[in-house]
Amino acid sequence: MDVRIMTRAELALRGVALDAPVRRPDGAGPSDDGHVLVDGANAALPTNPDSPYRVRDSRVWLGDEDTGLTLTAVRRPRFYDLSTADGVPYEHIARLHGADVLATTVVQTCVRYAEADRCRFCTIEESLRSGATVAAKTPAQLAEVAEAAVRLDGIRQMVMTTGTTTGQDRGARTLVRSVRAVLDTVPGLPVQVQCEPPGDLVWIRALRDAGATAIGIHIESLDDEVRRRWMPGKSTVPTADYERAWDEAVRVFGPNRVSTYLLVGLGEDPDELIEGAGRLIERGVYPFVVPFRPMRGTLAARDGVPAPSAEQLAYVTEGVAAKLRAAGMKGADQRAGCAACGACGVLESAGG
């Protein structure tokens, strides 16, 4: 096993003792992280005073041993100091992820958030409760913040996710309006949208026509038993619906513009996970492999579910990265989205 990938996996799970100026306390997906650059690549690492990894002279040390990795904190962006005319801080509308990604949750509520249905790794409504964000961002607000973030902080891409809504579109309708508004103001900015498979696949074409560069349709696990256990609400959408949505998205957006998350540590067999990722790659879908981490505010953390081992994360990452390389598929080529950012996984350091 490659030592650097193993160290990078350890960092993703155990974090680093560091006060990163850019943090994302809660939200959809992985959170409670400090945003840093490891060897120049985006990395979202838990900030953990008890981590054995420390930073000295911009290098990562394990005790007295220099790991050979460099680490620099992402500086607080200037757009965080601004507010809209009606007094909403820009930081509550969209946030900096990594060094150059603007990320927003357009609708911060989810139809599946009742405890019986909620994905056990998700905290989408927690940042709402803590007052760190607003429930629904208007297209005009998103456009205003995107313009400032590009101008003041050199943002290079934008990620728009959404909680699932009750309609057939599952949130895509709001994403369409938001993408249009942002691109009217910042033409050419690569934007990735993320939603569940829409009940009517015409929404995928509508998202592309609005100008989105890439799309994430996130299944998190390909194992039906794991899906039912971890995502009681979301698993009512059959895997076959995801497959249809991915295929339509690849047709409309093109190959390597479509991605999905696969979480390591939900109990899926690692070799089956790697094989499943291989099938996604054959479909033209980028499998963005990330570790499950028991974030504060999740049901899994409440129940004491541990993160996977660094060995398991490194093993799956290396297996999937080898398949990505063989297919000539790189996260960076998605141009926008989590796969292009890479911070929440370790694939990029493994050449994926």
Which residues of this chain interact with ligand SF4, rule CB under 6 A?
29-30, 44, 97-98, 101, 103, 159, 338, 341, 343-344
In the complex, the smallest distance separating the C-beta of residue 84 from ligand SF4, rounded to whole angstroms, is 23
Q: Which two tokens stand for residue 15?
A: 């974090």
In the complex, the smallest distance separating the C-beta of residue 142 from ligand SF4, rounded to whole angstroms, is 15
Closer by beta carbon to ligand SF4, 159 or else 189: 159
Closer by beta carbon to ligand SF4, 247 or else 333: 333
Closer by beta carbon to ligand SF4, 61 or else 313: 313
In the complex, the smallest distance separating the C-beta of residue 74 from ligand SF4, rounded to whole angstroms, is 10
Closer by beta carbon to ligand SF4, 39 or else 241: 39
Q: Which two tokens stand for residue 174?
A: 């709001």
Closer by beta carbon to ligand SF4, 61 or else 96: 96
DSSP, residue by residue, 11-40: HHHH-BB---S-EE-S-SSS-SEEEEEETT
Closer by beta carbon to ligand SF4, 43 or else 61: 43
Q: Which amino acid is at 67?
A: T
State the CB neighbour count (10 A cutoff) for residue 272.
Answer: 12
Q: Which amino acid is at 222?
A: L
Cα-based torsion angle of the residue sequence 129, 133, 139, 144 in order, rounded to the nearest 10 degrees? 170
State the CB neighbour count (10 A cutoff) for residue 48.
Answer: 16
In the complex, the smallest distance separating the C-beta of residue 242 from ligand SF4, rounded to whole angstroms, is 19
In the complex, the smallest distance separating the C-beta of residue 42 from ligand SF4, rounded to whole angstroms, is 6
Residue 50 burial by Cβ neighbours in a 10 Å radius (0-12, 13-18, 19+): exposed
Q: Which two tokens stand for residue 191?
A: 């934007």
In the complex, the smallest distance separating the C-beta of residue 194 from ligand SF4, rounded to whole angstroms, is 9
CB 272 within 8 A of CB 221: no
Interhelix angle 310-327/3-14, rounded to 10 degrees, is: 120
